[in-house]
Structure 1
């Protein structure tokens, strides 16, 4: 999902930013950032076999459900400039939901982001070399799982009420996380591929203009690129469609629909019917899979809306309305 259109500026005054825990190197670190009427912790877990894991968690007014937002593709972090006057959040509903105090709201830094990175939204262009060489579905899932398990042990969290909200690429991760962590009881997906990202590309070609012969040429070119990726799946320097081969080889192997079928979560899906990034037909395949198996699944199709859930001339209020609907769905269970 486009981060440029959905960045939330933390206009509320930051009264103080203090380290609650400053342990020796290699141990857990926690920093608390106080805003007017609410606060959040940034928790950094020590590196084990892989990179350190950092996550953000708001403090609810009482023991509360956990709502984890998983951001879309690229390396734009959930928060920028914490502790400064230039602070902002890239996940639009995060701050308003945290301010309500009704939920413990969470997000996680992507792995291999040792320094602030803010590349082009939706792609790896502008991301650091280490990120591009190392980032993959498996590395991201491991970070999300470690952060979620750690957060669920905190006393302010009601571990029986867990919602994971996946945005665009984050929906692929939300489905995988629901499969990997049985505590995830609810998953909401916004603008998400339902089958595989390879199917998305194939569907785009079939839905496009041009003759059948033109489409055959495009499909052949697509297949050739996929073969190149599969021939060098660990490459972090070779790129296709704005991302390294390493990223593509790991994500192309994932089907959110299949992963959700292996989970216990109930599912909410919202997609723009004019989504130019993820064809809604891909999402419909996932919905059909889940519905045919008798799963608890809700789908909301937005006429005229794009990948960001916005219609022409619309804006952030539309996006916030859709996330409000997600929370009402979650609260109703």
Structure 2
């Protein structure tokens, strides 16, 4: 593996003005490529223009699907009040500008939980600035599917010192689907049902590598890696500060999943864990009267500084 990135652009014409309360004037989103397992991969670096050496580097993990995510990275950090130093590795097989309506064969082949975890670990060990960082010097932030990947990376990489997730909890995804079905939440209860889910789960287990059979927009190969993974044992092994946020009305991950994390860590007060449940908010932390996502990300800067409690 080549440890040196191939620069495509030193500074894309994507800059974001910071809030008036920020001490920094502008940010840039740089694009580069790096080779992981012999394959060129696109990644993005969001940073303050000028010196950002004192910033806490953040590795960002997006949710599911094959939509081009890289250009959207600045949006998440519009209210981040400190120096930004954010790294995002695009998934395999996603073309620049992709709308996510049709995923490539390369994407579907690589779209598994373990692949995302191993790719992220390789990225941390090869990207020059991240490679140079010491133990517990990086933060990892994962949303939705990325929130399931992030704890695995945090457990396997000694460089991760903080873990933050949004829209992700402590139960297997298969259990969340059954909770939704039991609560009567569409489409999990209509047109689907608990019986349909149980039959589909069995079919996925019987043909776990199938790319030709699909469910809820993903091949069985994807589901076999995600549906039955239990994240709680991974969380239980972590000894770093953790913050998890979910919306009370999350429509993709049952709020019971986040509460399972809350309840587990309530029994382990020696762990540095914070849970935020946004009232009436959705999977994206959006409430009818408030967009919480950017506030959550912005609050991470103080969380890094304040002894890990907000």
For Structure 1 versus Structure 2, the TM-score category normalised by the shorter chain is 0.7 to 0.9
Structure 2 residue matching 1:287: 3-state secondary structure: helix
Among 25, 40, 44, the residue aligned to 1:56: 44
In the TM superposition, what is the alpha-carbon distance from 1:143 to its structure 2 partner? 1.2
In the TM superposition, what is the alpha-carbon distance from 1:250 to its structure 2 partner? 0.7
Kept in 1, the 8 Å contact 2:36–2:123? The answer is no
| Aligned Cα root-mean-square deviation (Å) | 2.9
User: Which residue does the alignment assign to 2:253?
Assistant: 278
Runs of 4+ residues deviating >6 angstroms: none
Kept in 2, the 8 Å contact 1:89–1:95? The answer is no
User: Which residue does the alignment assign to 1:226?
Assistant: 201
Structure 2 residue matching 1:52: 3-state secondary structure: strand
Kept in 1, the 8 Å contact 2:248–2:281? The answer is yes
Cα distance in 2 for residues equivalent to 1:185 and 1:111? 26
2:212 aligned with 1:237, yes or no? Answer: yes
Structure 1, unaligned runs of 5 or more: 1-24, 80-87
Are residues 46 and 71 of structure 1, via their aligned partners in 2, closer, same or farther at CA, if it must alter by over 3 Å?
same
User: Which residue does the alignment assign to 1:168?
Assistant: 144
Aligned residue runs from structure 1 range 203-214, under 5 A? 203-208=179-184
Are residues 142 and 163 of structure 1, via their aligned partners in 2, closer, same or farther at CA, if it must alter by over 3 Å?
same
Are residues 158 and 152 of structure 1, via their aligned partners in 2, closer, same or farther at CA, if it must alter by over 3 Å?
farther
Structure 2, unaligned runs of 5 or more: 16-25
Cα distance in 2 for residues equivalent to 1:218 and 1:295? 38
User: Which residue does the alignment assign to 1:70?
Assistant: 61
In the TM superposition, what is the alpha-carbon distance from 1:56 to its structure 2 partner? 1.6
Cα distance in 2 for residues equivalent to 1:173 and 1:26? 23
Kept in 2, the 8 Å contact 1:71–1:91? The answer is no
In the TM superposition, what is the alpha-carbon distance from 1:195 to its structure 2 partner? 1.3
- What per-residue deviation string (whole Å, max 9, x for no partner) do you get for residues 29-57 of structure 1? 123125564434333222426x4333222
Cα distance in 2 for residues equivalent to 1:151 and 1:324? 25
Aligned residue runs from structure 1 range 141-152, under 5 A? 141-151=117-127
Structure 1 residue matching 2:148: 3-state secondary structure: helix
User: Which residue does the alignment assign to 1:15?
Assistant: none
Structure 2 residue matching 1:166: 3-state secondary structure: strand
Cα distance in 1 for residues equivalent to 2:204 and 2:246? 28
In the TM superposition, what is the alpha-carbon distance from 1:138 to its structure 2 partner? 1.3
In the TM superposition, what is the alpha-carbon distance from 1:253 to its structure 2 partner? 3.5
Cα distance in 2 for residues equivalent to 1:154 and 1:202? 39
Structure 1 residue matching 2:11: 3-state secondary structure: strand
Tell me whether 256-265 or 37-46 shows the greater mean CA deviation.
37-46
Among 41, 44, 59, the residue aligned to 2:33: 44
Structure 2 residue matching 1:274: 3-state secondary structure: coil
Aligned residue runs from structure 1 range 33-182, under 5 A? 33-35=11-13, 37-48=26-37, 51-60=39-48, 61-63=51-53, 64-79=55-70, 88-89=71-72, 92-94=75-77, 97=80, 102-113=83-94, 115-116=95-96, 118-120=98-100, 125-151=101-127, 153-154=129-130, 160-182=136-158
Cα distance in 2 for residues equivalent to 1:270 and 1:91? 20
Are residues 101 and 329 of structure 1, via their aligned partners in 2, closer, same or farther at CA, if it must alter by over 3 Å?
closer
In the TM superposition, what is the alpha-carbon distance from 1:137 to its structure 2 partner? 0.9
- TM-score, normalised on structure 2? 0.82
User: Which residue does the alignment assign to 1:287?
Assistant: 262
- What per-residue deviation string (whole Å, max 9, x for no partner) do you get for residues 250-273 of structure 1? 112422322122223211111111
Cα distance in 2 for residues equivalent to 1:235 and 1:322? 37
Are residues 91 and 77 of structure 1, via their aligned partners in 2, closer, same or farther at CA, if it must alter by over 3 Å?
farther
- What per-residue deviation string (whole Å, max 9, x for no partner) do you get for residues 283-313 of structure 1? 1112222332332110111111111111124
- TM-score, normalised on structure 1? 0.76
**Count of residues paired in the alignment:** 287
Structure 2 residue matching 1:74: 3-state secondary structure: coil
